[in-house]
Structure formats: structure tokens, C-alpha cells
Amino acid sequence: MGIKNNHINYVEFKTKDLEKTKEFYSESFGWVFTDYGPTYIAFEESGIEGGFETTGDEIVNGALIVLYHENLDIIKSRIEKNGGAISKDIFSFPGGRRFHFLDPSGNELAVWSDK
């Protein structure tokens, strides 16, 4: 089936302690983890893929919904045209690139691409 444009593809949570988080979710729910350095772990076997990122900040809204689009420039322009605001411009990470945006209500989401 493959990855589809504009579909929720990934959910990212904040955490204060990667090891405690990994232990909790693997023991409680059977999630499987992949380490990506000292501040990030990805998970699978949960119904949707996702990850946990370490933060020192207060966790207010701990989940980041991540959508997929093959062309970040096109979808970024569409978001801005329709009243969204870019909160973190396009950046690279292992596996692709992404940016974050705020919807008109102030909810932060992200869009990623492997292209």
C-alpha cells in the first residue's frame, strides 16, 4: 500500500527519561524500540509508528502528530496559504526531512518526507 500524502504517518511524544519510557511501554504494551542516539527512540508494534524525544522543558502537549507528504515545499506553501504558520522550518534528520506548523487553532503538527 505504501505511504500516502496527507495521511497521519507518525506520532511523536516528549519524554524526560528515554530508558524509563522504553521500559514502561515495552513491558506494559509490548512495543519494540530502535535507538537513534542519546535523545531519540522510535517505536513500532503499537498500531502506528512513532517516537519519543528527550526534553528538558515542561511537557504541556506531549504528542506531535506527523503527516507525510512527498513534496515538503508544496505542502508547506499550501499550509501557509490556508492560514497555518510555520513553527519550525524544514530540517533534515536520519531518514528524511520535516517541518512543524501551527494550525489556525494553535495546534502544532509536523510534515515529513523521505524525498
53 and 101 in a common domain: no
Low-confidence ranges of the chain (pLDDT < 50): none
CATH number of the domain enclosing 13:
3.10.180.10
45 and 4 in a common domain: yes
| Full domain range(s) for residue 108 | 69-115
User: For residue 73, what pLDDT is reported?
Assistant: 97
87 and 102 in a common domain: yes
> Please, which residues have CB within 8 angstroms of residue 66's CB and are 6 or more apart in sequence?
8, 9, 10, 11, 12, 98, 109, 110, 111, 112
User: For residue 1, what pLDDT is reported?
Assistant: 62
User: For residue 59, what pLDDT is reported?
Assistant: 85
62 and 85 in a common domain: no
Kind plus residue range of the DSSP H or E element containing 42: strand 40-44
User: For residue 88, what pLDDT is reported?
Assistant: 97
Residue 74 has which C-alpha cell? 508544496
Domain count, the chain: 2
**Residues 65-88: tens digit of each pLDDT:** 999 999 999 999 999 999 999 999
